[in-house]
Chain A
Amino acid sequence: MSAIWTLLTLLILAALGFALGRARALASAGGDIRALHSLPGHYGWATVLFTLVPALSLLALLTMAAPLTPAGTVAVVALALAALAWSLRRIAPDFRARRTVERGVLVLLVLAACVAIATTAGIVLSMLFETQNFFAQYGWRDFFLSTTWAPRFQGNSDLGILPLLWGTLYVSFIALVFAVPVGLFAAIYMAEYASRRFRAIVKPGIEVLAGIPTIVYGLFALITVGPLLRDYFAQPLGVGSSGSSVMTAGLVMGIMLIPFVSSLSDDIIAQVPQSLRDGSLGLGATRSETICQVILPAALPGIVGAVLLAASRAIGETMIVVLGAGAAAKLSLNPFEAMTTITVKIVSQLTGDSDFAAPETLVAFALGLTLFAITLCLNVLALAIVRKYREQYE
């Protein structure tokens, strides 16, 4: 914890540096700020930068190597003090403080923007590394082609991804079958038929669904939809006896995706040029004919992109399937049976006490990488389609 107190000390030093730097700049100009190259505050900020940057870099290096020792703290603070003294000595009326500060700030801005690259790199590298460890212990052919998933504590597990992939795709398919027509029709009605007042009331209502956390949907699946489907559909029809099933998870996930599909499609339909509508209506088509034969074909690429984005959402969704779909890895066509997905197994293999040398734990990283690859492909494809579509009408 000494790292945090060291950090606070540095911040206090920096604040001190700002006051001293500003005062010294003013003093060096004899109180007449017209003699200074930059504003007095710039001299203060320059002092702050010179004080903080070397000391913070040293602190980061030290804490990354090992827990911070008292000697390390002393070294960091000493460095900060030395830098503070040095930068104060540099202050003179012709010191170009503004340029120095702005160059420093620009570097900070670039670093902040690069966090996104670092995150992606971190994701890919961390998973690649552990996946490599996994494939050193377990053949990749067995992983990708085996149809059984049966991890055992003693080892000798069957870790085939196919049943999980099947469950994932099945749940996502049901979710999309539900969400795409509903979302699309809702978007069409909202964009083409609804009055301004109706839209103002209903649109936020649908969008509330997008703001609800997935754990809430998960609990909804567990305590309401699951028992309902079991008691009124699965058991009377004799097709299943489990509350958690592909159907439960799929339906609830469909509800979650409605606002996602509808708001994306709404944007896309709104971008279709008004002249297309006017032309079709002028030739005597009804509004529904205009929508089905003119607007939807024109908006099709964008809508396909939206559906792909929704699919990527569905495939990566975790909490709804953890609570709604069940844990049994199965290859079955019956939607009222409990099945499991890639995300569920990542959670179950990585929670609790896990041994990071065993293939039963490491398989989660291989699953994660597969999931990342699938969703990445879908996202890239969808974003490219949507962008191309936007350019077409701009």
Chain B
Amino acid sequence: MSDISCPAPAQSLLKRGDRTARRHAAEARFRACGLGAILIGLAALAVLLASVLTSGLGAFRQSYIHLPIHLSEAELDQSGTRDTEVMKKVTTIGYGKVIDKALAEAVAQAGIAIDGLTDDDISGIISREAAAQVRDMVLSNPDLIGETIDLSVLANGRIDGYLKGRVTAESAALDSNVSPAQLQLADAMMERGLLSLDFNAAFLTAPDASDQRPEAAGLGVAILGSAYMMLIVLALALPIGVAASIYLEEFAPKNRLTDLIEVNIANLAAVPSIVFGILGLAIFINFAGLPQSAPVVGGLVLTLMTLPTIIIATRASLKAVPPSIREAALGLGASRMQAVFHHVLPLAAPGILTGTILGLAQALGETAPLLLIGMVAFVREYPAAPPEGLFDPASALPVQIYNWTQRADPAFVERASGAIIVLLAFLLVMNAAAILLRRRFERRW
């Protein structure tokens, strides 16, 4: 046996060489990149939520002025009959005067004296919406006339901005809508408890307000409109989606028609949402003559958009039900239809419901198609109760947000962010429900 001459290794295997070190460094770098990418994603989410929360939480608090208001008969019901038809002749201007007087008295009584403060300045700190609110209140209850009632009325949007830090003395000096003297008055009134920031329930219930009255703008009509649309989507997309999935998954023969349907569903899931808006405009409004900005049209468009989502989810959960269930039912003499409807469908129901809720959540946040079917219109009237109300003009949550971003007054940015918080809260609830449903009822076979 001869010795095999073995060249001595250039370096010990026990010591890490240069090349290995480089490779390990590359490995560490690669890993850090991956972690970095995840952190970028999470950071983006955090910044997004923080930005919406910081600019939107203010919308849930609103400045109110607390005043004893004397509803004098001489001003508001000269006839003395308390007949609402007659009283309607007194416009909001008449009520505005009553409120201005009450405010001037309250300011004088509190002993507030500020240089350069005119009567117009004092009345200017009240929202123009306040007179309309008092008028509505009196008209619905004429017996209030002649009494002195303690009321909280909305403060002007700029004063509200001052309380929330959006308006400062410097910016007020440049602003024709508010004077520094008014801000001093607001400070003084705050000290005496005449003015305060309170929870803003009206933000969730009141209708939209005009460009000059951001303080009065609320989401009532939009929430109602969105709810109506979700109702329609649920009523149409769930049965149609489930029926289509049952056909495709359980009954469809392998033929051209089935292939065509499958390809169509896969593509519809990826069609840009705005294209559905064009479809709604061309078919439902221009061709079928349904009214513009009505929840029924929005609901139909969103139904078509949501269908692929629901179909895909439903098919997945039908597929997850083992064939043994079907075979057992068939073996006992059930027809295929009975096997599906009595046995497979109930077992697939949790998955179908989860998919439906996720589809609804997607539909709730969709904006672009609704812009095209006229839901951007300025709507102050609440839609009537369904079914007639489905044809009344209404707004929708995401469209209302878009609408507010297009207004000039910066106070509307706060409103838009607040509306986003409301929208995200709804989505959170829906998604949480979907997750709970899945956790609670999901079965592994």
List residues of chain A with CB under 8 Å of any chain B CB: 1, 4, 64, 98, 102, 105-106, 108-110, 112-117, 119-120, 122-123, 126-127, 129-130, 181-186, 188-190, 192-193, 202, 205-206, 208-209, 211-220, 222-224, 255, 258-259, 262, 286-289, 291-292, 309, 312-313, 315-319, 322-323, 343, 346-347, 350-351, 356, 364-365, 368, 371-372, 375-376, 379-380, 383
Q: Which residues of B contact A347 (CB under 8 A)?
A: 274, 368, 371-372
The answer, among B44, B241, B251, for a CB contact under 8 Å with A258, is B44
- B27, B40, B266 — which one has the most chain A CB atoms within 10 A of its CB? B40
The answer, yes or no, to whether B141 is at the interface (CB within 8 Å) is: no
0/1 string, B97-130, CB within 8 A of A gives 1: 0000000000000000000000000000000000
Interchain CA distance A371-B277 in the complex, whole Å: 13
Query: In this assembly, does B307 line the interface, its C-beta being within 8 Å of a C-beta of chain A?
Result: yes
Q: Which residues of B contact A188 (CB under 8 A)?
A: 34
Cα separation A192 to B33 with both chains bound (whole Å): 13
Q: Is there contact, CB below 8 Å, between A109 and B41?
A: no
Query: Closest 9 CB pairs between A and B?
Result: A316-B272, A213-B365, A189-B34, A126-B282, A185-B37, A112-B243, A288-B30, A318-B368, A109-B247
For A319, give its contact among B35, B368, B388 (CB under 8 Å).
Answer: B368
Known: A205-B45, A262-B41, A287-B27. Contact between A185 and B33, CB under 8 A? yes
Q: Chain B 31-57 against A: per-residue CB contact (8 Å), 1 yes, 0 no?
A: 101111110111011011001100100
Supposing A119-B307, A209-B41 touch, asked if A219 and B270 sit within 8 A by C-beta, the answer is: no
Chain A residues with CB below 8 A from B268, complex form: 116, 119-120
Q: Is the CB of A288 within 8 A of B26?
A: yes
B residues lining the A interface (CB < 8 Å): 23-24, 26-27, 30-31, 33-38, 40-42, 44-45, 47-48, 51-52, 55, 239-241, 243-244, 246-248, 251-252, 260-261, 264-268, 270-279, 281-283, 286-288, 304, 307-308, 311, 335, 337, 361, 364-368, 371-372, 374, 376, 387-388, 391, 398, 401-402, 405, 413, 416-417, 420, 423-424, 427, 431
In the assembled complex, the Cα of A206 lies from the Cα of B311 at a distance in Å of 25
Q: Which residues of B contact A262 (CB under 8 A)?
A: 41
CA distance A343 to B251 in the complex (A): 39
A102 near B41: Cβ-Cβ < 8 Å: no
Of the candidates B251, B272, B311, the one whose C-beta lies within 8 Å of that of A317 is B272
**B304–chain A nearest beta-carbon distance, Å:** 5
Interface of A is mostly: helix
Among A219, A322, A379, the most chain B Cβ lie within 10 Å of the Cβ of A219
Is B308 a contact of A375 with CB atoms below 8 Å? no
Chain B residue with Cβ nearest A318? B368
Instruction: With CB as the reference atom, state the residue of chain A lying closest to B337.
Output: A102
Q: Closest Cβ of chain A: how far from B318's Cβ, in Å?
A: 13
How distant is A59 from chain B, measured CB to nearest CB, in Å?
14
Contact B282 A127 (CB under 8 A): yes
Assess whether A186 is in contact with B34, with CB atoms less than 8 Å apart.
Answer: yes
A309 and B270 contact, CB distance less than 8 A: yes
- Judge whether B274 and A346 touch: CB under 8 Å: yes
Report how far A109 CA is from B69 CA in the complex, Å.
Answer: 65
- Min CB gap B168→A, angstroms: 18
Complex interface: chain A residues within 8 A of B281 (CB): 350
Set A105, A185, A255, A376: member contacting B34, Cβ < 8 A: A185
**Which residues of chain B are near A205, meaning CB under 8 Å?**
41-42, 45
Contacting pair B271 A372 (CB below 8 A): yes
**A223-B54 Cα distance, complex, nearest whole Å:** 11
Does B265 contact A116, Cβ atoms closer than 8 Å? yes
User: A1-B391, A216-B423 are known contacts. Are A223 and B51 too (CB-CB below 8 A)?
Assistant: yes
> Which of the residues B31, B243, B366 comes within 8 Å of A108, measured between beta carbons?
B243
Least distance between B398 CB and chain A CB atoms (Å): 4
Are A183 and B37 in contact, with the CB atoms below 8 A? yes
Q: How far is the CA of A61 from the CA of B311 in the complex (A)?
A: 28
Once bound together, how far apart are the Cα atoms of A304 and B311, in whole Å?
26
Q: Nearest residue in A to B368 (C-beta to C-beta)?
A: A318
Q: How far is the CA of A326 from the CA of B203 in the complex (A)?
A: 29
16 inter-chain pairs at a CB distance below 8 angstroms, sorted by A residue, are: A4-B387, A64-B288, A106-B337, A113-B248, A115-B304, A126-B279, A189-B38, A192-B34, A206-B41, A211-B361, A213-B427, A224-B48, A313-B270, A346-B372, A347-B368, A379-B271
B402 lies within 8 A of A218 (CB): yes
CB distance from B259 to the nearest CB of A (A): 11
CA distance A172 to B105 in the complex (A): 61
Q: Which residues of B contact A193 (CB under 8 A)?
A: 31, 34-35
Q: What is the minimal beta-carbon distance from B49 to any residue of chain A, in angstroms?
A: 9
